[in-house]
Amino acid sequence: MSQVSVTELSKELRQAIEQLETSGKIDEVGVVIRIGDGVAWVHGLRKAGFSEVLQIETEDGIVEAFALNLLEDEIGAVLLGEDAQVKAGQTVRLKGTVLDVPVGPELLGRVVDPLGRPLDGGPAIKTKARGIVEREAAGVMDRKSVHEPLMTGIVSIDAMFPIGRGQRELIIGDRQTGKTALAIDTMINQAKQKTGVINVYVAIGQKLSKIARLVDRLKHEGVMDQTIVVATSPSDPASLLYLAPYSGTAMGEYFRDNKGHALMIYDDLTKHAVAYRQMSLLLRRPPGREAYPGDVFYLHSRLLERSAKLSDDLGAGSLTALPIIETQAGDISAYIPTNVISITDGQIFLETDLFYQGIRPAISAGLSVSRVGGAAQTKAVKGVSGNLKLGLSQFRELASFTQFGSDLDDATKKQIDRGQRLTELLKQPQYQPLSVWQQVASIAAVTGGHFDHIPAANIKPAQEAVLTKLWADHKKAMQTLDEGDKPTEATEKVIAETAKKVAKGFED
Amino acid sequence: MARRLSRRLLSTYVADQLQAGVSAHDVMLQLAAYLLQNRRLNEHTLIVRDVEMELARRGQQVGSLHSAFPLSDQTKAAITDLITRELDAKSVSLDEFIDPSLVGGYRVDLPGHQIDQTIKTQLTTLKTQFRKA
Amino acid sequence: MNILHQFAAETTAPDADLFGALGIDWRLLIIQLIAFLILVFLLGKFVYPWLMKQVDERQANIEAAAKAATEAKKAADDSKEEVAQLLDTARKQAADIVDTAKLESVEIIASSERKAKQSAERIVEDAHEQIDKDIQAAKKDLYNETLELVSRATEKVAGSAISAKADDERIAKAVKENA
């Protein structure tokens, strides 16, 4: 436990006083001519560059802003702090750098704002490196195709819409459909399976209570040690909400560029677009469709292009992105959703109807897709997922018949029963991601028909029982299966037998 | 509809006129008339700043010198030399102001530039920039 | 009948030597033979088939009954075997189910213990963290306050301590350094 040391305090004060020197040189300065709504209009500073940091000298210290509108007569700079202390007539200087944030492993386990300042009450963050917030994406030759899986631990995703390292997979749905829950489970799975993937969770305009709960949950699950949380609340200036995803990406790129793997979660980009719209309107930029500025596509495309799988020459690191978009009344054909869908490599669509039917995660198997697909899927899961997809698609076609209860032939009834069992299998409680062997065993048990005589309501308990028994009796085989390779015939046999045995206990 | 002339263009015109020898009074009258006609009177202070900056860019530095105590002639000359050298100025004209609240040191305000070596600024910097957030 | 008797009486006298010696009336014999043949024919056509049919049916029933009896016996034997097998399987499955249930209960207990322990450890860790944070915050406040006091004091003291001459010299030196 640290003590309050007077010697240390006095040393710090002396250091501060010594550092206090003025250069005596002639500095280029500007003056604030107008201030309002988080935007300061500055006269002078004709050498200012785009996105360069300006320092406004107020009575309470320096307030930073960055230049976004470079006009002939004045500069429109968006404030990075509160505008309460900024007054017209105050002096403005150029910092001489573009916006950058501290990056590095020192940030792990911390909750920071988009400028890298700690929000968790901990000590100030001192990093060796700084990363530029607005950076160009890797070129074509610097990349490699996505081929390594990123296991989310959620059966429906890993089996049917597998995500690879370096992919951008959009999570889209109405409010309260479990979008953030999916992202959290993915983060928890990285810690549980010890994949070594660093999580960067960017909260854009999220309630502080929600962020606090999320951080608590991550600590509880032991994930916080490999997570960075970049947090902004709805009460923060729009400039911070605008910068948050870019800052977070700069922090993730550090790991990508140093042979590591990172996972970015942007929660959510709808609020990001709204904040950018607010800033653009206040900067007097012409509004376009739905009052968004004309470059709202570029806003997201340049962000998501930075998520990539690098070539072996550059260290083979990767940055995977899971952007989240909130739709209104399930309308995925609105402006921002269609923009982001066209940028990402697939989407996971969450439906309100499925959620209220009790199917959670409420993933719509019909509308969701992963454009990388099998190339990034573990072989073990790939082997069993074909039957799963087929069973579910057949069930979807026949789903309407179950409502009528008409006389059906045996084959149809069988397909419907199988589909109901598969749907039941895909339900998964929150914060309980499954490992590779658990997913393979569960899917194989159902698609192999061993659970056909178990009522749908007992499928989940039966699944748990099978997994417990397999782990107890055949631990070594399951550990081998967990490595991801295609299961041997012996392993498949073991799974089938165990499933058959256990199923007897749950039949009617 | 006539294009709106930017302040930079207007200030360039004014500077050209002044350097050509046109009397300041006539130029200002012309400028005032233009502003009035185009309902841009509220920009007059900004245009004055722009004209100062344009003239400074052409070597005519006009500014103010602030200090806590009256400065000796040698010191003032040294300051003027510094400005001439650093900004490549042809002429430097500084208005002097005594402000005891500066505590010590001096400050020179020029169009688009500043030298601030006042003790007051240093103390404010100590109070504000070295604070732990 | 009278005709037959008459035919028989008439014919006896002339042929009395052979058949008479034997006591056989050959006309009566022929009639009896014809009557017998008629009887045989009638029996053969009407009675015999029906009789045979009855006998055959009876035979068939007996055979069927015998066969059914054999099959019933076989079925009984089979089902006995099947029942024995089912009982065996059921016993094995029951044992498996009990095993699994035991395993699950052990796992649940172990898991709850683990969670409780982790929870306790986390509470202690959080408490330590909070104390550390409070100390850091106190240090920070003290530092900031001292900074404020130092600058205010300097402002007041320097304001009265500095003379115009000293200030001028200082400024001249600073300007010279920047030359």
Rounded mean pLDDT, A259-285 = 96
Rounded mean pLDDT, A385-395 = 84
What residues pair up with A318 in beta bridges, in sequence order?
A: A261, A309
Q: Which two tokens stand for residue A448?
A: 């192999």
Q: Could you say which of C148, C151, C178 has the minimum Cβ distance to residue B82?
A: C178
A323-357 residue pLDDT tens: 999 999 999 999 999 999 999 999 999 999 999 99
Structure confidence at residue A213 as a pLDDT band (50, 70, 90): very high
Q: Which two tokens stand for residue A494?
A: 């073991």
CB contact under 8 A, C168 and B72: yes
Q: How many CB pairs under 8 A join A and B?
A: 66
Q: What is the pLDDT of residue A338?
A: 97
Across A39-72, b (16+ Cβ under 10 Å) vs e yields bbbbbbbeebeeebbbbbbbeebbbbbbbbbbee
- Chains in touch with A (3+ beta-carbon pairs under 8 Å) read B, C
CB contact under 8 A, C159 and B103: yes
Structure confidence at residue C10 as a pLDDT band (50, 70, 90): low
Q: How many CB atoms lie within 10 A of CB C115?
A: 11
Q: Which residue has the tokens 């019909």?
A: A366
Give the C-alpha separation, B80 to B63, whole Å.
Answer: 11
User: Which chain C residues are within 8 Å of B130, Cβ to Cβ?
Assistant: 147
Give the C-alpha separation, A39 to A58, whole Å.
Answer: 15
pLDDT of C12 strictly over 60:
no
pLDDT of C9 strictly over 80:
no
User: Which chain A residues are within 8 Å of B53, Cβ to Cβ?
Assistant: 44
Q: Could you say which of A29, A43, A62 has the minimum Cβ distance to residue B129?
A: A62
What residues pair up with B97 in beta bridges, in sequence order?
A: B66
DSSP letter for each residue of A319-384? EEEEEEEE-STT-TTSHHHHHHHHHSSEEEEE-HHHHHTT-SS-B-TTT-EESSGGGGS-HHHHHH
Q: How many CB pairs under 8 A join B and C?
A: 65
Q: Could you say which of A28, A46, A61 has the minimum Cβ distance to residue B131?
A: A61
- Chains in touch with C (3+ beta-carbon pairs under 8 Å) read A, B
CA C138 to chain centre: 69
Q: Which residue has the tokens 């709808």?
A: A270
Touching B: A residues 74-133, CB under 8 Å: 91, 117, 124
A126-156 residue pLDDT tens: 999 999 999 999 999 999 999 999 999 999 9
Which of A46, A73, A93 to probe the B interface (max B CBs under 10 A)? A73
Pairing between β-strand A39-44 and β-strand A52-58 as defined by DSSP bridges: unpaired
Low-confidence ranges of chain B (pLDDT < 70): 1, 133
SS3 of A428, please?
coil
Q: What is the pLDDT of residue A1?
A: 42
Q: What is the pLDDT of residue A4?
A: 62
Nearest CA distance, B53 vs chain A (angstrom): 8
Structure confidence at residue A22 as a pLDDT band (50, 70, 90): low
Catalytic residue (one of A130, A135, A371, A396)? A371
Helices (H), B42-112: 44-57, 73-87
User: Which chain B residues are within 8 Å of A70, Cβ to Cβ?
Assistant: none
Q: Which residue has the tokens 């065996």?
A: C88
CB contact under 8 A, C96 and A504: yes
CB contact under 8 A, C136 and A123: yes
CB contact under 8 A, A220 and C122: yes
CB contact under 8 A, C151 and B100: no
CB contact under 8 A, C103 and A472: yes
DSSP letter for each residue of A52-71? EEEEEEETTEEEEEEEEEE-
SS3 of B98, please?
strand
* Nearest one of A478, A483, A472, A482 to A495, comparing CA atoms: A478
Question: Residue A273, exposed/middle/buried by CB under 10 A (0-12, 13-18, 19+)?
Answer: buried
* Nearest one of B123, B65, A455 to C153, comparing CA atoms: B123
Do residues A422 and A475 lie in contact, with contact meaning Cβ atoms separated by under 8 Å?
Answer: no
User: Which chain A residues are within 8 Å of C103, Cβ to Cβ?
Assistant: 468-469, 472
Indicate if A371 belongs to the active site.
Answer: yes
Structure confidence at residue A424 as a pLDDT band (50, 70, 90): very high
Q: What is the pLDDT of residue C19?
A: 67
A454-480 residue pLDDT tens: 998 999 999 999 999 999 889 999 999
Q: Which residues contact C16 (CB under 8 A, 6 or more apart)?
A: none
A164-208 residue pLDDT tens: 999 999 999 999 999 999 999 999 999 999 999 999 999 999 999
Q: How many CB atoms lie within 10 A of CB B3?
A: 6
Structure confidence at residue C2 as a pLDDT band (50, 70, 90): low
Radius of gyration for the alpha carbons in chain B, expressed in angstroms and rounded: 19
Q: Which two tokens stand for residue A24?
A: 């005596």
User: Which chain C residues are within 8 Å of A12, Cβ to Cβ?
Assistant: 143
Mean pLDDT, chain A, whole residue set = 92
- Chains in touch with B (3+ beta-carbon pairs under 8 Å) read A, C
Give the C-alpha separation, A65 to A71, whole Å.
Answer: 16
A221-263 residue pLDDT tens: 999 999 999 999 999 999 999 999 999 999 999 999 999 999 9
Q: What is the largest CA-CA distance in chain B?
A: 56
Question: What H or E segment, with its residue span, contains residue C57?
Answer: helix C48-161
CB contact under 8 A, C171 and B117: yes
User: Which chain B residues are within 8 Å of C172, Cβ to Cβ?
Assistant: 72, 74-75, 78
CB contact under 8 A, C133 and A122: yes
Say what the ipTM of the complex is. Answer: 0.91
Q: Which residue has the tokens 């082997």?
A: A383
Give the C-alpha separation, C50 to B52, whole Å.
Answer: 145
Give the end-to-end CA distance of chain B in Å, rounded to a whole number: 53
CB contact under 8 A, C162 and B104: yes
Where do the structural domains in chain C lie, given as residue ranges?
2-178
SS3 of A295, please?
coil
CA-based nearest residue in chain C for residue A14: C147
Nearest CA distance, A469 vs chain C (angstrom): 6
A469 part of contact set with chain C, CB < 8 Å? yes
Give the C-alpha separation, A324 to A435, whole Å.
Answer: 24
**Torsion angle, CA of A282/A286/A288/A292, rounded to 10 degrees?**
-20
Do residues A230 and A74 lie in contact, with contact meaning Cβ atoms separated by under 8 Å?
Answer: no
Radius of gyration for the alpha carbons in chain C, expressed in angstroms and rounded: 69
Give the C-alpha separation, A89 to A328, whole Å.
Answer: 44
Q: Which two tokens stand for residue B48?
A: 């004055």
* Nearest one of A100, A93, A3 to A54, comparing CA atoms: A93
Nearest CA distance, C121 vs chain A (angstrom): 11
Which of A18, A454, A468 to probe the C interface (max C CBs under 10 A)? A468
Question: Residue A127, exposed/middle/buried by CB under 10 A (0-12, 13-18, 19+)?
Answer: middle
Give the C-alpha separation, A158 to A439, whole Å.
Answer: 9
C158 part of contact set with chain A, CB < 8 Å? no
Which of B65, B66, B72 to probe the C interface (max C CBs under 10 A)? B72
CB contact under 8 A, C175 and B78: yes
Q: Bin A150: left if φ > 0, else alpha if -120 < ψ < 50, else beta.
A: beta
CB contact under 8 A, A24 and C177: yes
What residues pair up with A93 in beta bridges, in sequence order?
A: A29, A55
Do residues A335 and A289 lie in contact, with contact meaning Cβ atoms separated by under 8 Å?
Answer: yes
Query: What are the residues of chain B with a beta carbon less than 8 Å away from any beta carbon of chain C?
Result: 67-72, 74-75, 78-79, 81-82, 85, 100, 103-106, 117, 119-120, 123-124, 126-127, 130-132
Q: Alpha carbon of A354 to those of A177, A359, A399, C61, C82: distances in Å?
A: 9, 5, 13, 68, 46
Share above pLDDT 90 across residues of chain A, in percent, rounded to a whole number: 75
* Nearest one of A341, A388, A390, A343 to A367, comparing CA atoms: A341
C29 part of contact set with chain A, CB < 8 Å? no
Answer whether the bond into residue A361 is a cis peptide, omega within 30°: yes
Give the C-alpha separation, B3 to A321, whole Å.
Answer: 47
Helix crossing, C48-161 with B119-129: angle to 10°? Answer: 150
CA-based nearest residue in chain A for residue C145: A13
Give the C-alpha separation, A480 to A379, whole Å.
Answer: 13
